[in-house]
Chain A
């Protein structure tokens, strides 16, 4: 039972790590939260020999929570300056006026 819970917690932690690396913002907290809950159940509630593994799961989960919250609060969303897109837009605008003239 303990091993099953630890394995599940590890899977959710890996998912949480992937979401943290990807730009998922606070969505990453969902799998990390599940990982923390499962690791906590395994460590605190199941009365068997406490393994180091659960401790590591909890520590890494905590670090990931910190990273996610830091990214969410301190890294602002920005739109990249896309020169090609802007140049294409100018061409399209000129063409649009030609099309409108053609309609009249």
Chain B
């Protein structure tokens, strides 16, 4: 449940700013994070999170592949092995998704999902399979602006924070687990933090409120995005019943 919260939070931080996008997500980006659990000043690093972007060409079109992978460190593999992939194929300019896939392997639990977004922008054809259960095949409707969880994370970076005031609230909607989940992002202003290989940098700080069961009513979930042209998600901090979880940037290409 905590791990699902991590991914829900990480990708829910999206604002619906109406200003035109100023940052474009480029292919060839490679960001690596260390996922850690903190309690009373002590920590344990348990997984590596990788975010990558690549161009993918089909016979008709070029898509931007937004890729998120979570892998436990080898020291944890014997106890609780995680091999999760979340990826989306989107329009390179609008980041509107055409195909979303999720593959989860966590301590023996497996789940796969595939969402094919209809061109009308309102219907999603969803396939999902959990463990040894039969595959589910269904259609569900979504709002025009609803997007998948990975696209939401990247879209967050393309928005214009510069002209926004601290305290601004923005509703967002994300499709996850064959459901539409309504959330709100609050922009908290600029803050200077240590961002691993980037050193001390000014960042836009945002927080998330969600109707998702795992996050309902819970505060203390934050993301810091660098206040430069690259808009790198530098640091994530999220609430857990005991202690906190964090993602720290360790490598950037």
| Residues in B66-97 with C-beta less than 8 Å from chain A | 71-77, 79, 83, 85, 87, 89
- Choose, from B41-49, B139-147, B163-171, B207-215, the stretch at the interface: B41-49
- Choose, from A7-15, A22-30, A49-57, the stretch at the interface: A22-30
Shortest B52–chain A CB gap in Å is 12
Tally of contacts, chain A with chain B, CB under 8 A: 74
B99 contacts the other chain (Cβ, under 8 Å)? yes
Of A29, A78, A80, chain B has the most CB atoms within 10 Å of the CB of: A80
Main secondary structure of the interface of A (DSSP, over half): helix
Instruction: Tell whether, in the assembled complex, residue B98 and residue A23 are in contact, meaning their CB atoms are under 8 Å apart.
Output: no
Chain A: which residue is nearest B37 at the CB level?
A27
In the complex, chain B residues whose CB is within 8 Å of the CB of A28:
42
B59 contacts the other chain (Cβ, under 8 Å)? yes
A99 contacts the other chain (Cβ, under 8 Å)? yes
Query: How many angstroms from the CA of A82 to the CA of B85 in the assembled complex?
Result: 14
B229 contacts the other chain (Cβ, under 8 Å)? no
A3 contacts the other chain (Cβ, under 8 Å)? no
Sample (27) of A-B pairs whose CB atoms are under 8 Å apart: A23-B76, A23-B79, A25-B42, A26-B43, A26-B44, A27-B42, A29-B42, A30-B42, A75-B75, A77-B48, A78-B74, A79-B71, A79-B73, A79-B74, A82-B83, A89-B85, A92-B85, A92-B101, A96-B56, A96-B87, A96-B99, A100-B61, A100-B63, A100-B98, A100-B99, A103-B99, A104-B58
